A and B are shown apart, each in its own frame.
Chain A
Amino acid sequence: MTTARTQRFAFGCIWLAAVFTLAVLALVVGLIMVRGLPSLSIGFLTGTPENLGRDGGIFPTIVGTIVLGLVSLLIATPLGIGSAIYLTEYTHESLLTRAIRFGTESLAGVPSIIFGLFGFIFFVTYLQMGWSILAGGLTLALMVLPTIIRTTEEAIRTVPQSYRNVSYSLGATRWQMVTTAVLPSALPGIITGIILAFGRAVSETAAVIFTAGTALNLPKSVFSPVRTMAVHFYILAVEGISLEKAYATGAVLIVTVLIINVIASSLITRLVRKQVRR
Chain B
Amino acid sequence: MDIKIEFDHYTLAYGRDVVLNDITLPVARNAVLAVFGPAGSGKSGFLRSINRMAELESNERHQGDIRMDGVSIFAPAVRLPELRRRAAMVFAQPVALPMSIYDNVSYGLRLAGQRDRRTLDAAVERALRASTLWDEVKDRLDSPGLNLSGGQQQRLSIARALALEPEVLLLDAPTAALDPISTAKIEDMLIDLKANYTIVIVPHSIQQAARVGDAAAFFLNGMCVEYGAGNQLFVSPRDKRTEDYVTGRFG
Contact = CB atoms under 8 A, between A and B. Distances in A.
Interface string B70-109: 0000000000111011001101010101110000000110
Given A176-B111, A276-B144, A277-B147, A168 B98 contact: no
A122 interface: no
A180 B147 contact: no
Interface string A241-278: 00000000000000000000000000000000011111
Given A180-B107, A276-B146, A171 B112 contact: yes
Contacts of B51: 169
B164 A185 contact: no
A33 to B, nearest CB: 40
B12 interface: no
Given A162-B93, A276-B146, A170 B53 contact: no
Contacts of B157: 166
B206 to A, nearest CB: 26
A169 B53 contact: yes
A128 interface: no
Interface residues of B, number: 30
Contacts, number: 73
Nearest to B51: A169
Given A162-B91, A165-B53, A170-B160, A275 B99 contact: yes
A184 interface: yes
A169 B58 contact: no
B97 A171 contact: no
A170 B88 contact: yes
Interface string B125-162: 00000000000000000011011000000000100110
B88 A162 contact: no
A278 B97 contact: no
Interface residues of A, number: 23
Nearest to A181: B97
B1 interface: no
Interface string B55-69: 010100000000000
Contacts of B91: 162, 165-166, 169
Nearest to B170: A169
Contacts of B58: 92
B111 A172 contact: yes
A170 B165 CA distance: 11
A180 to B, nearest CB: 7
A276 B93 CA distance: 18
A62 B88 CA distance: 55
A131 B101 CA distance: 53
Contacts of B146: 275-276
Interface string A145-172: 0000000000000001011011111111
Given A170-B88, A171-B82, A275 B98 contact: yes
Contacts of B99: 184, 275
13 contacts: A162-B91, A162-B93, A165-B53, A165-B56, A165-B95, A166-B95, A167-B97, A168-B84, A169-B51, A170-B160, A171-B82, A172-B81, A278-B147
Interface string A178-222: 001100110000000000000000000000000000000000000
Contacts of A168: 53, 56, 84
A171 B84 contact: yes
A62 B85 CA distance: 54
B95 A171 contact: no
